[in-house]
């Protein structure tokens, strides 16, 4: 089933782009290419605005992988990388913004998928918690303006994405777990994906060898004491836990620029 972005959200994002001098497209380091929104990139280019790609969450991926992505992406647009969690890369991002600023103060729009870290980037740039942050995708409901410094103003926006199926959005952590209609099915699909890419991840995170179908969920439910009446494993609750662990970056699978088959977009 394809999931369409909310029209009101999409209009709000496009309006912010019109008001901005520079647009930062925030990408997830685990697979930056699949987090790009080509429609937004086209709109920014058509309006004559400067687009800067920002690879965030680099604490999840080896430095050499991030460097490869930067080298590839900067052939199209200026590209920087950072970790809002570890507060790395903020100085370079500031310098890059000012380098391309057509005027001072410069008004900068942040765009990207839900839960990619836009609000966290605002927080580290300003040096204090100005933008509310949450691990729940779609937490930013309305556009907000923040003064980062006397020279930089930032417009935050709700997360926006192209039409995609539920599995693709779940892999990108862009869906709130509680809103997933069938968490068990999605968790099983996720486990299958992880086993194909790096089965050791499951042993590392959960201490259980990968197994087929629902057996893994049942074993983990028993291990965690997530049981229903009669000692029946609560596979739905444990499925939600696995999906949240993926969303929070406890389970990490990344893609290299030259890998066509290893992707978070399925």
- In words, the CATH class of domain 166-247 is mainly alpha
Residue ranges covered by each domain of the chain: 2-156, 166-247
pLDDT in tens, 49-84: 999 999 999 999 999 999 999 999 999 999 999 998
pLDDT, residue 14, reads: 82
Retrieve residue 77's tokens: 């647009």
pLDDT, residue 131, reads: 54
Is 88 in a helix, a strand, or coil? strand
- In words, the CATH class of domain 2-156 is alpha beta
End-to-end CA distance of the chain: 14
Low-confidence residues of the chain: pLDDT under 70:
1-6, 128-143, 158-160, 162-163, 259-266
pLDDT, residue 185, reads: 93
What's the pTM value of the predicted model, to 2 decimals?
Answer: 0.85
Question: What is d(CA 252, CA 262) in angstroms, rounded to the nearest whole number?
Answer: 13
pLDDT, residue 6, reads: 62
């Amino acid at each position: 089933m394809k999931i369409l972005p909310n029209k009101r959200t999409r209009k709000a994002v496009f309006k912010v782009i019109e008001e901005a001098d520079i647009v930062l497209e925030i990408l997830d380091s685990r697979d930056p290419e699949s987090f790009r929104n080509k429609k937004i990139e086209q709109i920014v280019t058509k309006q004559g605005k400067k687009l800067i790609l920002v690879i965030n969450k680099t604490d999840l991926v080896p430095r050499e992988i991030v460097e490869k992505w930067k080298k590839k992406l900067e052939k199209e647009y200026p590209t920087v990388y950072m970790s809002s969690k570890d507060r790395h890369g903020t100085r370079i991002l500031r310098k890059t913004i000012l380098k391309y600023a057509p005027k001072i103060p410069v008004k900068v729009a942040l765009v990207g998928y839900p839960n990619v870290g836009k609000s966290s980037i605002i927080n580290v740039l300003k040096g204090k918690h100005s933008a509310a942050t949450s691990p729940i995708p779609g937490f930013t409901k309305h556009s907000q303006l923040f003064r980062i410094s006397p020279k930089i103003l930032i417009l935050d926006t709700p997360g926006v994405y192209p039409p995609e199926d539920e599995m693709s959005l779940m892999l990108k952590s862009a869906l709130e777990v509680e809103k997933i209609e069938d968490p068990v099915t999605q968790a099983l699909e996720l486990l299958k994906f992880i086993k194909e890419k790096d089965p050791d991840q499951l042993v590392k995170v959960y201490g259980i060898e990968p197994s087929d179908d629902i057996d893994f969920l049942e074993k983990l439910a028993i291990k965690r004491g997530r049981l229903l009446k009669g000692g029946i494993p609560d596979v739905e609750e444990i499925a939600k836990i696995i999906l949240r662990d993926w969303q929070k970056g406890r389970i990490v699978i990344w893609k290299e620029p030259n890998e066509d088959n290893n992707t978070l977009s399925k």
